[in-house]
């Protein structure tokens, strides 16, 4: 069976990260470089808030129900048995790799899981869920109650800029620990919410907000691809063919 070159996933994920960061810098340039839109539609703010809230809600569903998320990340609940030679028994057998959520029960993945309530959970997904739940609460307060944060708009934007940047670059900049992994995914989601508040208060430009929503979807795709790359790297580095679930 022909194997995909090991460098290909890394090149692809780095490409997506580069485009994501370029899009983020372009967002900053547009936010502070275009004039505030004078014409303001009364329905614009709740519509944008609802779309962003839907993205958060769907993200929570994907993380709370790991089997569906697992299929997106090329994992399975339980891998198929793989033939291997048992040196002690002198015979061929099968070894089964079992999973919790969408991570295999393997010490090499300890930085990707966190134990809560006696069960192991994906640290990344847990962070995304926490961030999305906080963002949903913020959406309901900001977009549907007439709250204005004009004086803090620039602060919110740059906090969001930093949060999204750190979330996208988390595997490149930080030593992996499960709590750090969880925290960076919380601020990744909160960063997108803060960016939206900043854009809304600074420009009130629906075209720019549509660009932001599109960019957010691209960031989510990038986050998935980077996670795939990291899981692949862990598995390939292990070298144990009998339980490897990434070819």
List, for residues 61-84, the tens digit of each pLDDT value: 887 775 555 454 444 444 443 333
Residue 216: Cβ-neighbour burial (10 angstroms; 0-12, 13-18, 19+): buried
**Structural domain boundaries of the chain?**
7-32+42-238
Q: How many residues does this entry show for the chain?
A: 247
pLDDT band at 53 (very low <50, low <70, confident <90, very high): very high
pLDDT band at 151 (very low <50, low <70, confident <90, very high): confident
* % residues pLDDT > 70 (the chain): 69
Q: Tell whether the model's pLDDT for residue 60 goes beyond 80.
A: yes
Average pLDDT value for residue range 17-31: 96
pLDDT band at 87 (very low <50, low <70, confident <90, very high): very low
Read off the pLDDT of residues 91-130 as tens digits, 9 standing for 90 and up: 444 445 555 556 666 666 666 777 777 777 788 888 999 9
- Helices 44-64 and 178-202: crossing angle in degrees, nearest 10, is 170
Strand partners, 3: none
Average pLDDT of every residue of the chain: 78
Alpha-carbon separation of residue 36 from 9, 30, 136 (angstroms): 41, 11, 26
Q: Phi, psi at residue 111, to the nearest 5°?
A: -75, -10
- The token duo for 123 is 């640290």
Q: Tell whether the model's pLDDT for residue 49 goes beyond 70.
A: yes
């Amino acid at each position: 069976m022909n194997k995909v070159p090991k460098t290909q996933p890394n090149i692809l994920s780095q490409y997506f990260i580069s485009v994501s960061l370029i899009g983020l810098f372009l967002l900053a340039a547009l936010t502070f470089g275009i004039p505030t839109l004078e014409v303001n539609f009364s329905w614009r703010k709740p519509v944008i808030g609802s779309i962003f809230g839907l993205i958060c809600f769907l993200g929570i569903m994907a993380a709370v129900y790991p089997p569906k998320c697992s299929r997106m990340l090329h994992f399975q609940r339980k891998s198929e048995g793989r033939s291997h030679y048992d040196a002690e028994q002198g015979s061929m057998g099968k070894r089964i790799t079992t999973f919790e959520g969408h991570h295999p029960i393997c010490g090499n993945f300890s930085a990707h899981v966190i134990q809560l309530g006696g069960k192991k959970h994906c640290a990344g997904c847990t962070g995304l869920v926490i961030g999305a739940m906080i963002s949903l609460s913020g959406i309901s307060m900001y977009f549907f109650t007439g709250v204005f944060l004009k004086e803090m708009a620039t602060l919110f934007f740059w906090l969001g800029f930093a949060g999204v940047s750190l979330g996208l670059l988390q595997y490149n900049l930080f030593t992996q620990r499960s709590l750090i992994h969880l925290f960076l995914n919380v601020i990744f989601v909160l960063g997108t919410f803060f960016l939206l508040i900043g854009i809304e208060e600074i420009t009130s430009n629906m075209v720019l907000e549509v660009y932001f929503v599109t960019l957010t979807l691209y960031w989510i795709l990038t986050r998935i691809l980077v996670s795939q790359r990291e899981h692949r790297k862990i598995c390939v580095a292990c070298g144990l063919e009998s339980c490897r679930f990434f070819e």
